Amino acid sequence: MERIGFVGLGLMGGYMAQNILEAGYPLTVVAHRNRGTVDTLTALGASEADDAAALAAQCDIVFVCVPTSEHVESVIEGEKGLRAGAKAADHKLIIVDCSTSEPTVTRRLAASLETDGITLVDAALGGTPTQAESGQLQAIVGSDDETLARLRPVLETWAGKILHCGPVGAGHTMKLLNQFLAMSYGAVFSEALTIGAKAGISPQTFDSVIRGSRMDSGFYQTFFQYVLERDRNAHRFTLANAGKDIRYVAALADALNVKAGVAHAVSDLYTSALDQGEGEKFVPELSDIVAARHQLSLF
């Protein structure tokens, strides 16, 4: 079987790695910030490498699931990174970047790695931690057909849907478009609730009209599970990650010479929340942040 490595055992990556291991694949992991997940996986039969270079030297496919493109570059290009380990090995490595990364960086890295016989594929994630745990995420993939065919059995251990969007970089591009929609909804819901509250419309009245209408959605429901029930676990995506993603969207638009006023406006709202030190709060809590700026409480 393919020997699998995993870097980035956070909220999503830990579940993904466990699903790979439980499907019977030999799995090697490397500790980053989350020692507890490493201990759990090694107790289940995974091996642990000292660093990313050692991981690459002993694996055929390495998944990377880290917060930013900067982290991806560090994991790959660092002194003890994946490139160094793969160059010293006698096999050709496939790196699968499951992060939400900048497509321009992804394509540049892919072209550079190809000179050393290393293949980079983007397989951005769609879904929630609950779907990660159950193996029902979306894999939003940018890859050539041959590499994807080789990866597909491994992807199927944690993905209920594998969506091939085009060549390398296409997966990250499509994920950013998805995040543009999602973070825009979060911004619109937050401002709409504050406008409504100022006008005497409660969140409960707002929900009674929207729920079940054409404006309802899965995102709406988890967002409002927090708004109405104060359930923080309903929508576990931090404002720090949301702000990073929408910043990448705005940067992509700029690189393509697209005048994207909406993307920049949404980015500005999330940036303002981060500037207040609210990065560890979840996206639905943006509604409280916006309301508080107008001396309002939605709950």
Q: Are residues 142 and 167 in contact, defined by beta-carbon separation less than 8 angstroms?
A: yes
Query: Does 259 qualify as catalytic in the annotation?
Result: no
pLDDT category of residue 225 using cuts at 50, 70 and 90: very high
Q: Are residues 71 and 99 in contact, defined by beta-carbon separation less than 8 angstroms?
A: yes
Residue 57 has pLDDT above 80, yes or no: yes
Residue 34 has pLDDT above 80, yes or no: no
Label residue 118 exposed, middle or buried (CB < 10 Å: 0-12, 13-18, 19+).
buried
Q: Where are the domains of the chain?
A: 4-167, 173-292
| Sequence-ordered list of residues with C-beta below 8 angstroms from that of 71, at least 6 positions apart, any chain | 8, 99
Q: Are residues 98 and 64 in contact, defined by beta-carbon separation less than 8 angstroms?
A: yes
Estimate to the nearest angstrom the gap between the alpha carbon of 82 and the chain centroid: 20
Residue 11 has pLDDT above 90, yes or no: no
Record: fold of 173-292 = N-(1-d-carboxylethyl)-l-norvaline Dehydrogenase; domain 2 (1.10.1040)
Rg of the chain over CA atoms, in angstroms?
Answer: 20
- Looking at residue 31, its pLDDT comes to 85
- Looking at residue 53, its pLDDT comes to 97
How many residues in total does the chain contain? 299
Average pLDDT over residues 255-276: 97
pTM for this one? 0.93
Residue 155 has pLDDT above 90, yes or no: yes
Tokens of 59: 């694996």
Average pLDDT over residues 20-40: 91
Catalytic residue among 80, 87, 161, 175: 175
Hunting for tokens 């995993």 — which residue is that? 6
Q: Backbone dihedral region of 179: left (phi > 0), alpha (psi from -120 to 50 degrees) or beta?
A: alpha
Tokens of 160: 């209920």
CATH number corresponding to 4-167: 3.40.50.720
At 79-129, the pLDDT tens digits run 999 999 998 887 899 999 999 999 999 999 999 999 999 999 999 999 988
- Looking at residue 270, its pLDDT comes to 98
pLDDT category of residue 33 using cuts at 50, 70 and 90: confident
The residue among 203, 57, 37 whose CA lies nearest residue 129 is: 37
Tokens of 20: 């790979």
Residue 37 has pLDDT above 90, yes or no: yes
